[in-house]
Chain A
Amino acid sequence: MANLQAHPAGGERRLPTGRAGRVDRRRVPIGPLEYCRRWWLQLIVGTTFLLLYAPIATLVAFSFNDSRRNIVWRGFTFDYYVKAWNNQSLFDAFVNSLTIAVVSTVVSTILGVLAALLLWRFRFPGKAVYEGFTALPIVIPEICMGVAMMAFFARVGWPTGLPWPLNLSNITISHIAFSFPFVAVIVRGRLIGFNREFEDASKDLGASEWQTLRHVVLPYLRPGVVAGALIAFTLSLDDFVITFFTSGPDTITLPVKIFSMVRFSVTPEVNAASTVLIIITVIATVAATRLQVPTRPDNPGGG
């Protein structure tokens, strides 16, 4: 039912012209609202997508280019991936990034689900203020949060020079702080469609709070939770600004490493490292988007 309401008159919008068979569609005159069939709009959209994707596509293409200077195409090679893989500091940065992202994803998913359930379930004084407060990490400029985390860890005397995974703790903590509000937003979006009668039924049948959460609410929430987790993973893996201010010489992440490489010199190795990061984030994002798309009821408009 909820899905039906989410798409008001989804299929009925198109007037009878739209029902003509696909074969002779081109012969049907363009209706006043069929803007996507107008050439000038198609041109604008096409050009925008071209300009949006061309730089990324060339960056990826030139990671396979057999030339030190990535200006002219000189043939296909995997050399720069091998070089990037064997570049110890680049590899370490990659491992650091993944480690931080995994820990940050687990913790921010838990915190995000808790915050979403809290805001969904309870009325409490100052709720509007609290909501604004949890959205704050999303809205303030990243650089302000970056310098704040830097100042915080310096002032409280956060231990530096710890052995490996622990020295990433300050970056991980910062990532969790800006990621879990995003998870909360996504999970709340999913909760809106939840029929609370299921919860009541579960409790009437004698289930405890925990059993209800475990067996009724969480299974329903699962797509939202997984989507939120994927977004948290991407946010952490991609973050440059906040990491830039919290990382030290021994705790470089992939984006920070790429930044210093770009400033130093532009080599195909950077392209190779960037391509790897792009592929991981694209996979995570596509998966998250698919999970967030509501499952359609069968043709609500009948058209």
Chain B
Amino acid sequence: MESWRQNRVVFWVLGIPPTLWLALFFVIPLGIVWFISFGEKRGLIDIAITGTLDNYARALQPLYLQIFWKSIWMAGAATLICLVVGYPVAFAIAFAPERWKIWLMLAVILPFWINILIRTYALIAVFRTRGFANFTLEWLWEKGDWVLATAGLGEYHLLGERFVPLNMLYNNYAVSMGIVYAFLPFMILPLYANIEKLDRSYMEASFDLGAGHWRTFTSVVFPLTWHGALSGIIIVFIPALGAFFIPELLGGTDSQLIGNVIERQFKSANDWPFGGALSFLLMYATFGALALRAVLVGRGKALEV
């Protein structure tokens, strides 16, 4: 690597276009929203930047705090489910024979690249009252009922007289499932990268010393792959926190998350200063999560040395 002074022309030719683009079409837009968040709405499109903190104060009202809390809670629950489901899958891929690995990885990556909106839409057909989840349950109910009937217990209707479809769509449950479904590949990829790098002689040592599989997992494998889990948690949690079309399509009236509130301020409610404040609070929460990860990873590294 050479110093930028050694070849200034090349340095500037390489550096100016991307930097300029990012400055003009990323930093300035964010800066505008930041300034607007300290402004007041005057009329339909006029915004006076007065340096007021009212928008932030309003964001801290119980109504919005509650939505913030709910977003964090739902994103957190979905992230946890992703971790619990994603870890074994990443683990299995890391331990699969070489020639399968690439295909298994491709199978994880493909849904990751298929439009999230389309995947969310696909879930509607699964969760609705006459959807595949309910069809499956109905089929199971019929089989169960038949088994009970042949066992001579038919008249008690232990499984209910008729199959009653569950309401799985348009509620918080559907939103969490939608988030899990959308972001599961985000969890598997970093986990896989870490488990793949794990030195397997540690596991062999653990077995030799008499530990079982579970003990080896909790005391050796998981602590050594914790960074991957942490990356996965952050990568899932951040977009989950700002999700707005998943609650919009799968959620009910009480499933509004912070993303929906921001969207409303910028579209139908037309209150940009307040929307700007909310979106910056969301961004600060994101940076907080990233900083927390840096601290945890840093501490882990210090311990390893």
What residues make up the interface of A, taking CB atoms closer than 8 Å to B? Answer: 10-11, 13, 32-36, 41-42, 44-45, 48-49, 51-56, 58-59, 62, 70-71, 110-112, 114-115, 117-118, 120-124, 130, 133-134, 136-137, 139-145, 147-152, 154-155, 173-174, 176-177, 180, 184, 209, 234, 238, 240-241, 244-245, 255, 258-259, 262-263, 266, 270, 274, 277-278, 281-282, 284-286, 289, 293
Contacts and interface: CB of A to CB of B under 8 A. Distances in A.
B286 A139 contact: yes
Given A240-B116, A241-B245, A143 B14 contact: no
B1 A122 contact: yes
A141 B4 contact: no
Contacts of A150: 266
Given A145-B26, A150-B266, A151-B276, A55 B102 contact: no
B147 interface: no
Interface of B is mostly: helix
A6 to B, nearest CB: 11
B102 A152 contact: no
Contacts of B296: none
Interface in B109-160: 109-111, 113-119, 121-126, 130, 132
A143 B263 contact: yes
A200 to B, nearest CB: 11
A174 B104 CA distance: 33
A262 B121 contact: yes
B33 A114 contact: no
A220 B105 CA distance: 25
Contact of A176 (B10, B25, B105, B106): B25
Contacts of A137: 22, 26
Given A114-B18, A121-B14, A151 B272 contact: yes
A272 to B, nearest CB: 12
A177 B122 contact: no
B115 A240 contact: yes
- Most chain B beta-carbon neighbours within 10 Å: one of A112, A147, A174: A147
B17 A11 contact: no
A55 B22 contact: no
A240 B248 CA distance: 13
Contacts of A151: 29, 32-33, 36, 266, 272, 276
Interface in B215-249: 238-239, 241-242, 244-245, 248-249
Contacts, number: 242
7 contacts: A33-B95, A41-B92, A140-B283, A141-B238, A143-B259, A277-B118, A285-B109
Interface stretch (B54-62, B199-207, B297-305): B199-207
Contacts of A51: 181
Interface in B49-87: 85
Contacts of A140: 283, 286
Nearest to B1: A123
Interface in B20-39: 21-22, 25-26, 28-30, 32-33, 36
B114 A282 contact: yes
A143 B115 contact: no
A285 B124 contact: no
Contacts of B2: 121-123
A122 B241 contact: no
Nearest to A7: B98
A262 B124 contact: yes
